[in-house]
Structure 1
């Protein structure tokens, strides 16, 4: 039986800093789970104001899965001092 696995990355903002991109490699011996949070919802970003779901396709939203690396490019997203956002994706072990 395969189990679901989640990776969480948290970034703390610098004073009035902007985030241009954040990413990580899908761990070895796991498979990225497309649709883990629902149809068209492969990656979850949690902002101070709530969740945003992204696809892993190289399309018009900020999420992508390319060569085993999950990347989110929030563009001009600005965090206030000491604010955080979380990027999550799920993978299946095995």
Structure 2
């Protein structure tokens, strides 16, 4: 494993240790960066209009279209570190 992947795995563990839940916008950003870092560009169809949460997650992930997985991992790590400070 690379150093970046190790740091990403640690950030995934650290996010669960936060004492307060981040706001919804930050949660969406974390979700989108996690998906982009672990899967890559968004795949599949956008959830239907009445699936508000699913649609919001899809749109947040879609905004990262074209971002490399390494860049997404680094941004995720940076955001988790900022939240843990």
Q: TM-score, normalised by structure 1?
A: 0.26
Larger proportion of strand: 1
Q: TM-score, normalised by structure 2?
A: 0.28
